Structure 1
Amino acid sequence: MQRLLACDPAFAHTRFFESWNPIPAKPHSFPDERILKSWIALQVAHFLNPEFKAIHPASACLADEEIGFHNYSFYGSALEAQWRIPAFARHCENAGNEDVYREFKQLLQTILWLRGSAPEKSWVLKVPQFSQDLGALLSVFPRAKVIILDRDPADVVGSSASLVYNQMLLQSGAADRAWIGREWLRKSLLRQRIMDGFRQQAGSSCIVIDYRTMQDDWRTGMKAVYGFFGLPLTGKVQRRMTDFIGRSSRLALHRHRYDLTDYGLTATQIREAFA
């Protein structure tokens, strides 16, 4: 969804190198050293754990999540996914996080300045952490429109647990998959409760799209999103999206695969917890 929206030049988006290195050592330098640093970081990550290519495909200049911004605030799941730090996780879940998102906004404004761009475009933002922080996020971005992808919770928890395990493998030779499964089932339930509460009072500021629709018939899903925005989905933009999907399909050498039982979980157990 995020990368399809990034195909539309009417929207702004954050690139991988900007997320992880939003502030360059020398503003407006050419070439931009952040691109090289990000390319090297990805090569190292893929060398140390090739599964990353399937779990989160990325390249230095491709649209990506702004999760790197949270590192500047020493906050959130970018850190929780790498280390077993439950007290830190509970602190992030229970603290007022408006300051985090004020800093987040300042980083977006800095990127705009570095680009020399006017702030007239809507910005496509995506971080899974948002689902946990909707109150703080919307206090800083009160005019935001929220798109929620409704996905099978067994897939959400399994994918999250697998991602975290592969992140922790880079930091420890003793990553505990059973603990990761329990922790990310708990965290996924927390985020779902927050999103459910938001949806009850969101009104016209939120749309829910079925994840399977985006997999099976992405045009229908995107037409619903553009209708939500009150914008036309032009033929030119659809062609750009089709080209992107074609390129992504050719580059996808393997898919993200995991076994829930490795994390002490079953699909039935997860779905019952979410029921």
Structure 2
Amino acid sequence: MTTQEAVRSDHLLTPEAMLAASTSRTGLSDFGSSSFREGLDLLLSDIRALDLGPAYVRASAWRIGQSLDTRALAVQGLKARPELLSRPIREPVIIAGLVRSGTTALHLLMSLDPQFQGPEHWLTVYPMPRPPRETWDAIVQYQSEKATMEAFLATSPEAADDHMMTAEGIEESLFILGSSFSSNMWPSMWQVPQYDRWYRGRDDTDSYRWLADVLRLIGAGDERRWLLKNPTDLFSLHEVLNVFPDAKVIQTHRDPVDSMPSVSNLIFSARRAFCGDKAGRADVGRREAELWADALERAEAVRAKSDNAFVDVEFGDFTRDQMGVIRSIYDQFDLTLAPETEAAMQAWLDAHPRRTSKGPKHVPEDFGLTRQGLEEKFAAYRKRRGYM
């Protein structure tokens, strides 16, 4: 890379250039409260310090720029419908748990229940009041995200296998939280130490207020209960309940010693897409183990003081009897599971049989970890859950 190319690439990742590029794409210059700038500025500063090659700079600028566009579109939508800001979000059901503990499959299954609404993926990118489903094929924004998603899945088929991502499918809250620029999404994609310290040390209530407002926009006119999912809600459970005080929470569980190598591989794959050979396996392993050990203890402390309704789901129980676990959740939350909904869930399970493997694809040592080290780091949680 020449000096001229480096300067030009570096300029793409300044806050001024990013905001100007977003305005050029959307025609919008109002990004709402300036509170997002602290996180954006720290994030971009850390990424510039990585000295990425031009292709990875462009990829990074595209990904961060997409969230800036999302933010501007949401601000525009909420300005047009200010009455939505006072609309209550009552008793959302929130799925949170260690990554790779069954959150995705559980979320997808429960999203088949018509008593719930959730944020569809394309609407987390292009937030607007949810149009009637039969009109989506004619909507430019849906067409655009569907094409983007199909191109991504063509190059990353493991994402389709692991997350069953589609433009029209239900999406986790992480994408909307990303447009607050205080989100675990960003240190998952790049090694950004200043940003990570800032994010993990702050009160994140404002980010969840942003999430709630964007949900109000997407769900305008829809009175159904929200079904949400975000593993990182464990880390910010105090803030989640500040914003959704009557939430009902499903916490999924799995022995971290078994799941951490898989979690680390997932994050490493994301980092490699944006950083190339600057992505480090040991850096990912260390960061993920620290974050999730902290998240599990923070969540436990919040739960000990909370009057909210919680249901615990063991990964092993869920993989053995998905519908049995679903029925238990509905019983404990006093929800109605209609026969036609149960049939739809079973049909989905029949169409998506769980893959079995002869052994783990990844081991702790792949990411600079050891089994003993993970046992020690997660000792308190493993003892509570009976994994020791």
Note if contact 2:182-2:204 (Cα within 8 Å) is conserved in structure 1: no
CA RMSD for the aligned pairs?
Answer: 2.6
Separation in structure 2 between the aligned mates of residue 219 and residue 254 of structure 1, nearest angstrom: 22
Shift of 1:76: 1.1
Q: Which runs of 5+ in 2 are unaligned?
A: 1-105, 380-388
Deviations 1:142-194 (A, max 9, x none): 11011100111123322321111110111122210011000100001111111
> Aligned residue for 2:108?
3
What is the aligned residue count? 269
Change beyond 3 A, Cα 1:16–1:253: farther
Task: Please say which of residues 226-235 and 133-142 is displaced more in the overlay.
Answer: 226-235
Matches within 5 A, 1:47-66: 47-66=154-173
Tell me the SS of whatever aligns to 1:207: strand
AA aligned opposite 1:88? Y
Which of 131, 144, 165 is 2:247 aligned to?
144
> Aligned residue for 1:236?
340
Matches within 5 A, 1:46-125: 46-113=153-220, 117-119=221-223, 121-125=224-228
TM-score (ref. length: structure 2): 0.64
Separation in structure 2 between the aligned mates of residue 180 and residue 89 of structure 1, nearest angstrom: 13
Q: Which runs of 5+ in 1 are unaligned?
A: none
Separation in structure 1 between the aligned mates of residue 177 and residue 236 of structure 2, nearest angstrom: 12
TM-score (ref. length: structure 1): 0.89
Task: Please say which of residues 96-105 and 47-56 is displaced more in the overlay.
Answer: 47-56
Change beyond 3 A, Cα 1:266–1:54: farther
Shift of 1:29: 7.9
Deviations 1:108-159 (A, max 9, x none): 011012xxx332x211100112111111111111110111001111233223
Separation in structure 1 between the aligned mates of residue 274 and residue 212 of structure 2, nearest angstrom: 30
Larger radius of gyration: 2
Tell me the SS of whatever aligns to 1:171: helix
Separation in structure 2 between the aligned mates of residue 204 and residue 160 of structure 1, nearest angstrom: 28
Note if contact 1:48-1:170 (Cα within 8 Å) is conserved in structure 2: no
Note if contact 1:76-1:89 (Cα within 8 Å) is conserved in structure 2: no
Deviations 1:246-272 (A, max 9, x none): 22239x799994333210223443133
Separation in structure 2 between the aligned mates of residue 269 and residue 104 of structure 1, nearest angstrom: 36
* Fraction of identical pairs, as percent: 23
Matches within 5 A, 1:160-179: 160-174=263-277, 175-179=279-283
Change beyond 3 A, Cα 1:52–1:253: farther
Separation in structure 2 between the aligned mates of residue 7 and residue 126 of structure 1, nearest angstrom: 14
Separation in structure 1 between the aligned mates of residue 254 and residue 330 of structure 2, nearest angstrom: 20
> Aligned residue for 2:292?
188
Note if contact 1:4-1:241 (Cα within 8 Å) is conserved in structure 2: yes
* Residue 353 of structure 2 is aligned to residue 249 of structure 1: yes
Task: Please say which of residues 222-231 and 197-206 is displaced more in the overlay.
Answer: 197-206
